């Protein structure tokens, strides 16, 4: 079997699985911190119970995020040794800073938060969960500094012998425009993920009529507002990010739109079945001018198509295909945007219910609120699939191709890869099952559950 395919498969598995847990950590840490602040300020026991309830779910989820994160850090060296040699001078730096600045803060203060309730003043205890939230979200910032170099490399020069990229400007790396488009998007994605989970579980309790109805109404309110704010931000951030990608990686946008030919004004595809070999539509429904509008906030404007970009790239980078898997890019983009649109509608419905103080949901509304918790997960995963698969064949855009980045077969063989993929898959399935079991149990148990 092809080692490139296997190494990519393993990276996809481990990173998508890791990112099942991370956004919830990002979003739920802030949410728990907000509730604990409410407890400190009001002294209302209801908030304390809610902190313990959501905090416990946060912890169950947190552990899996942490341990799968170690795999993420190690596997650049393990499976992508040529990549590590090529970009280590740049890429390693944000990774090291992430650990030093964010992971230490997150893990140390989490220990203090879990075990320190009886030993610390209330305000210090609340500060510790805020530091956990800060640490988690800072880690997202630093990993995105690293990822942004892959998407739009800046602040570097090539070594004289061409063997690696070397950092020349740390500030440029940090203030890479891509970071500041992508980070708000991921941050808001975390808030949305946390918010919809809170909505779902609160709804479940309100429908079941468990005790502490009052407290679950409070968390429904907090969760809905939180989810709504997150959804607005994620939509806006996604929009500006796409406009930025138009400039830095137009091929990714063209692939996500299945836009074969350059158009001005450009139409937006609602539904396309295309032929990737011949680069043409089999069947397509398109809305005229909408893509130009999304790209430039104007109904005029040229959006380059796949064919023209391929010709341009061949001139610039030499012969070869520069077209990513269009079916993957196209459908992951549609799933992400579709899930985002549904989240917006559901959170508006939620706001309306809250405004009317109507917490007796019909079975349909209840099911809608409950199952909407899956939407952020769909959007998070497909968003990353688009970001990474849409950049192909590049691992670092314009500098290094993915096929040049993989560890040589003489070092890590296909057999070893098959073995490691098997180990990780079994291990991760087991973790997912245990995690789900525990989350279900503790979510259903309600507020009394103490330890």
Partner 1 sequence: MELQTLWFILVAVLFTGFFFLEGFDFGVGILLPFIGREDRERRAIINTIGPFWDGNEVWLVTAGGAMFAAFPHWYATLFSGFYPALILMLAAIIFRGVAFEFRSKLEHPSWRNFWDWSIFGGSAIAALLWGVALANIIRGVPIDASMNYAGGFLNLLNPYALACGIASLLIFTLHGAVFLTLKTTGELRLRSMRAAKNVWVPAVILSVVFMIYTYVETDLYLHLGINPGIIPVFSVLALLSVKTLLDNNASGWAFAMTGVAIAFSTATIFMGLYPRVLVSSLNPDWSLTIYNASSSPYTLGIMSMVALIFVPLVLLYQGWSYWVFRQRVTTDSHHEY
Other CB atoms within a 10 A radius of the CB of residue 359 amount to 16
Residue 357 as a binder of partner 1 (CB under 8 A): the answer is no
- The Cα angle at residue 20 between residues 92 and 181, in degrees rounded to 5: 55
Site for partner 1 in 399-428 (CB under 8 A): 407-408, 410-412, 416, 419-420, 423-424, 427
Stretch that binds partner 1, among 23-31, 164-172, 278-286, 390-398 (CB under 8 A): 164-172
Judged by CB under 8 A, how many residues of this single chain contact partner 1?
73
From candidates 9, 13, 107, 204, binder to partner 1 by CB under 8 A: 107
Site string for partner 1, 200-219 (x = CB under 8 A): --------------------
Residue 121 as a binder of partner 1 (CB under 8 A): the answer is no
Phi first, then psi: give them for residue 270, nearest 5 degrees.
Answer: -85, -40
SS3 271: strand
Alpha helices in 43-117 (DSSP H): 45-79, 81-97, 104-115
> 136, 31 in Cβ contact below 8 A?
no
Quote the CA–CA distance of 325 and 47 in Å, as a whole number.
48
Residue 81 as a binder of partner 1 (CB under 8 A): the answer is yes
Quote the CA–CA distance of 321 and 318 in Å, as a whole number.
9
Residues shown for the chain: 451
Q: How far is the CB of 70 from partner 1 (least distance, A)?
A: 6
Residue 158 as a binder of partner 1 (CB under 8 A): the answer is no
Q: How far is the CB of 55 from partner 1 (least distance, A)?
A: 11
Residue 108 as a binder of partner 1 (CB under 8 A): the answer is yes
Residue 95 as a binder of partner 1 (CB under 8 A): the answer is yes
From candidates 239, 276, 438, 446, binder to partner 1 by CB under 8 A: 438
From candidates 4, 89, 404, 425, binder to partner 1 by CB under 8 A: 89
Site for partner 1 in 36-75 (CB under 8 A): 59-60, 62-64, 66-71, 73-74
Residue 440 as a binder of partner 1 (CB under 8 A): the answer is no
Q: Which two tokens stand for residue 233?
A: 């931000």
> 148, 175 in Cβ contact below 8 A?
no
Quote the CA–CA distance of 261 and 332 in Å, as a whole number.
21
């Amino acid at each position: 079997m092809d080692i490139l395919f296997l190494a990519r498969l393993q990276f996809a598995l481990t990173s998508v699985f890791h990112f099942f847990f991370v956004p919830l950590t990002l979003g739920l840490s802030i949410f728990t911190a907000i509730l604990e602040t409410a407890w400190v300020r009001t002294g209302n026991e209801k908030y304390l119970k809610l902190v313990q309830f959501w905090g416990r779910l946060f912890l169950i989820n947190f552990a899996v995020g942490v341990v799968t994160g170690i795999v993420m850090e190690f596997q650049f060296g393990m499976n992508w040794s040529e990549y590590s040699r090529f970009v280590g001078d740049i890429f390693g730096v944000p990774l090291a800073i992430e650990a030093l600045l964010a992971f230490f803060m997150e893990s140390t203060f989490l220990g203090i938060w879990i075990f320190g309730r009886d030993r610390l003043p209330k305000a210090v205890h609340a500060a510790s969960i805020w530091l956990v939230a800060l640490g988690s979200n800072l880690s997202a910032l630093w990993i995105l500094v690293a990822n942004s170099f892959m998407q739009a490399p800046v602040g570097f020069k090539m070594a004289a012998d061409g063997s690696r990229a070397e950092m020349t400007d740390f500030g440029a790396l940090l203030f890479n425009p891509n970071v500041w488009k992508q980070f708000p998007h991921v941050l808001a994605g975390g808030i949305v993920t946390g918010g919809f989970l809170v909505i779902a579980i609160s709804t479940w309790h309100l429908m079941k009529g468990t005790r502490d109805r009052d407290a679950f109404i409070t968390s429904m309110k907090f969760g809905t507002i939180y989810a709504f704010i997150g959804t607005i931000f994620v939509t806006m951030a996604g929009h500006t990010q796409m406009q930025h990608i138009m400039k830095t990686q137009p091929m990714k946008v063209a692939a996500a739109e299945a836009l074969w030919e350059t158009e001005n004004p450009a139409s937006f595809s609602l539904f396309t079945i295309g032929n990737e070999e011949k680069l043409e539509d089999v069947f397509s429904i398109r809305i005229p001018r909408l893509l130009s509008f999304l790209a430039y906030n104007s109904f005029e404007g040229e959006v380059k198509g796949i064919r023209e970009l391929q010709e341009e790239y061949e001139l610039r980078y030499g012969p070869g295909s520069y077209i990513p898997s269009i079916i993957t890019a196209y459908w992951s983009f549609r799933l992400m945007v579709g899930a985002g649109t549904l989240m917006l509608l559901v959170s508006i419905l939620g706001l309306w219910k809250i405004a009317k103080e109507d917490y007796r949901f019909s079975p349909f509304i209840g099911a809608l609120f409950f199952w909407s918790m899956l939407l952020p997960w769909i959007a998070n995963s497909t968003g990353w699939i688009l970001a990474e698969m849409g950049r192909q064949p590049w691992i670092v855009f314009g500098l290094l191709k993915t096929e040049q980045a993989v560890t040589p077969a003489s070092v890590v063989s296909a057999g070893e890869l098959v073995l490691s993929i098997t180990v990780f898959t079994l291990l991760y399935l087991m973790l997912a099952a245990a995690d789900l079991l525990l989350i279900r149990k503790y979510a259903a148990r309600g507020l009394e559950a103490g330890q």
